[in-house]
Amino acid sequence: MRVLVAGSHGQVGRHLVRLLSEAGHEARAMIRDDSQAGEMEALGGTPVVADLEGDPSPAAKGCDAIVFTAGGGPGSGAAKKETVDRQGAVKLIDAAGEHGVRRYVMVSAMGADDPESGSEGMRPYLRAKGQADDALRESGLDFTIVRPGRLTDDPATGRVDAAASLGRRGEITREDTARVLLATLTATNTHGKTFEVLDGDTPIDEAVNAL
C-alpha cells in the first residue's frame, strides 16, 4: 500500500513512517522542505515536498491511502490551528477525491465533538479538529477518525483501550498511537467509524478488529 503521511516530521508521523516501511508499505512522507528529507529516508520513507498551507494536492497522486497526523503544534496560535488542523486536512480530503484515494485516516483528538468543554487554550484546536472531522464524514471517502488521549513519549506497550466512547480521559504513547494507525489502515471494519484510544490492556490488533 502506498500511504501519504501528512505530518510525517511530527513525533507520531515519524513513528508511522518507520512502521509502514517495516510492514512492507510505501510511506510517502510529506515534508515542508528538503532539509527534512534525510531523516524521512532514514526511517524508510519516500520524501514528498508539499505544504498544507499551500497546495498539497499533487502529493496525493498515485496513493492508496492518506493518514493525516499533522497539526499546528503546541504553542501555535488559533490562526495556525485553522490553516493546518482544519484547512490542511480539508485540502487533503479534496485531494483524495481528485486523485481517487479512497482511504483516509484522520488523527483527531478526544473532545473534538465538544470543543467548548475544553480549556480556553484548547478550544481553537478542538474546534479545528472537530470541523475537519465533520468534513471527512461528509466526504464519501472510506474514512476512520482516531481520537487519542494525551500523547506521551513513554515506551510503547502494544496494548490499548479503544471504543467509540471510552467515558474517561487519559494518555497514550505516541508510538502506540502510530501502531493503532497502522492497524486501522487495513481494518475494513473501521470504515466510517470514529473511535477513542488510550493506553490499556488489549493488544492493538485485537482492539482495532473489535471496533
Q: Where in the sequence numbering do the catalytic residues fall? A: 125
Give which of 18, 69, 68 is closest to 40, Cα–Cα.
18
Residue 32 grid cell: 515542508
Residue 118 grid cell: 475544553
**Coil, helix or strand for 30?**
strand
Give which of 136, 146, 140 is closest to 184, Cα–Cα.
146
Interatomic CA distance for residues 104 and 83, integer angstroms: 19
Residue 202 grid cell: 488489549
| Helix (H) or strand (E) segment spanning residue 47 | strand 46-49
Q: How many Cβ atoms from other residues are within 10 Å of residue 163's Cβ?
A: 14
Give which of 89, 105, 73 is closest to 178, Cα–Cα.
105
In eight-state DSSP terms, residue 156 is P
Residue 197 grid cell: 484510544
Cβ(131)–Cβ(106) below 8 Å = no
